[in-house]
Amino acid sequence: MIDRLGAALLRGIDPERGHALALGALRAGLGPRGGPVTAPRLATTLAGLALPNPLGLAAGFDKNAVALGALSRTAFGWVEVGAATPRAQAGNPRPRLFRLSEDRAAINRMGFNNDGAEAIAARLARRPPGMVLGLNLGANKDSADRAADFAAVLARCGGLVDFATVNVSSPNTERLRDLQGPQALAALLDGVMAARARLPRPIPVFLKIAPDLGDADLAAIATVAEAAGIAAIVATNTTLAREGLRSDRAQETGGLSGAPLFARSTRILARLSGMTALPLVGVGGIATPEEAYAKVRAGASALQLYTALVYGGLSLVGDILRGLDALLARDGFATLADAVGTGRRDWL
């Protein structure tokens, strides 16, 4: 109750300031303390990573890895920080983050604002033991070679995390999504995987894709990802679509996340699961146990969320996981893995 009251109070102030205050409160010890929710049905494996539960924190909440200790004590089974770019950058001009309360959604055009790989690496080096931690890789807006930026961040930080995610699907850096094209993506991933091979401990590399892709684009991306040795595909990032929104902020430019993204991202997930044997991470609009379960049945081996925390607070994470465990039990699944893909046709 206290957690959700805090979330409601933060919604009354500027979104970006509210986000900073939420991070500050978490670092001050005002967040949950119980640690990851665990249960035999929820324990799962993603790309060789043993997860106590399938629900992870998506990138964007802790861009600069400043709250790792506090996040390790939340109910999340795994955490992704970033996106990190080689050099620090301020991101896009403010205002750049908008709540759409009527739609239980958000629009952001942050533009990869972060402290840069060196500063983030120093914090990753002090990570608490036991948590499954990943880093979202980005590119500097003014870079002459954005593809090389992803490899540079991985080279600097890859030895300090358990996985890394190539993020070519943010709509908030001009022409970044062009790197999802087959030739450009293949060249980018070649560089990233070469950097991975030079790490002391090569880690799984994931690829995060946009929800605004047709079947031909999805199939091409899946083929490139498999050929490159990508370990999992994260589906999906935010959308440029605006159908059905009620908020007066609906036409702000940037990526839309939250409840309106659920159906679009789940359809992409289901279609992609029929195109590749790679494990998939389901992201986009999860706010209830039923929505988490739908992502799993559509083909997700693991899950992430972020925007729902704006409206439900961190206590929502445990509620979703306990509800998901109950749904798996109701339908006779002994493990989460047994349920993956069992409802894919419902979304085709």
Note whether residue 39 is domain-resident: yes
318 occurs within a structural domain: yes
pLDDT for 322: 98
Residue 125 lies in a domain: yes
Tokens of 65: 């890895």
DSSP β-bridge partners for residue 12: none
Whether 347 is in a domain gets the answer: no
Known catalytic membership, residue 301: no
Please give the structure tokens belonging to residue 26: 């978490």
CA 12 to CA 22: how far, in whole Å? Answer: 13
Question: Does residue 155 form part of some domain?
Answer: yes
Number of Cβ within 10 Å of residue 194's Cβ equals 12
Structure tokens at 246: 């009620």
For the entire predicted model, the pTM comes to 0.96
Supply the pLDDT for residue 177.
78
Q: Tell me, what's the pLDDT at 3?
A: 57
Whether 108 is covered by a domain: the verdict is yes
All residues at 6 or more sequence positions from 75 whose CB lies less than 8 Å from its CB, including other chains: 32, 34, 35, 36, 37, 53, 55, 314, 317, 318, 321
CA distance 112 to 120: 13
Model pLDDT, residue 52: 98
Smallest CA-to-CA distance from 60 within 169, 175, 180, 205 is with: 169
Q: Are 244 and 264 in contact (CB under 8 A)?
A: no
Domain of 126, CATH number, reads 3.20.20.70
| 348 falls within a domain | no
Here the tokens at position 39 are: 């249960």
Domain carrying residue 201: 2-239+249-341
Catalytic hit among 72, 170, 301, 315: 170
Alpha helices in 28-104 (DSSP H): 68-72
pLDDT in tens, the chain (348 residues): 545 555 565 666 889 998 999 899 899 888 888 899 999 999 999 999 999 999 999 999 999 999 999 999 999 999 999 999 999 999 999 999 999 999 999 999 999 999 999 999 999 999 999 999 999 999 999 999 999 999 999 999 999 999 999 998 888 777 777 788 889 999 999 999 999 999 999 999 999 999 999 999 999 999 999 999 999 999 999 999 999 999 999 999 999 999 999 999 999 999 999 999 999 999 999 999 999 999 999 999 999 999 999 999 999 999 999 999 999 999 999 999 999 999 999 999
Question: Does the residue 244 lie in any domain?
Answer: no
In angstroms, the CA 273 to CA 298 distance is 8
Q: What contacts 218, CB < 8 A, 6 or more positions away?
A: 209, 268, 271, 272, 275
Which residues contact residue 240 at a Cβ distance below 8 angstroms, ignoring those fewer than 6 apart? 171, 212, 255, 256
Instruction: Output b/e per residue, 150-179; b: 16+ Cβ within 10 A.
Output: bbbbbbbbbbbbbbbbbbbbbbbbeebbeb
Q: Residue 188: which H helix or E strand, with range?
A: helix 182-197
In 3D, which of 254, 256, 166 has the Cα closest to residue 208? 166
Total domains in the chain come to: 1
Q: Are 157 and 102 in contact (CB under 8 A)?
A: no
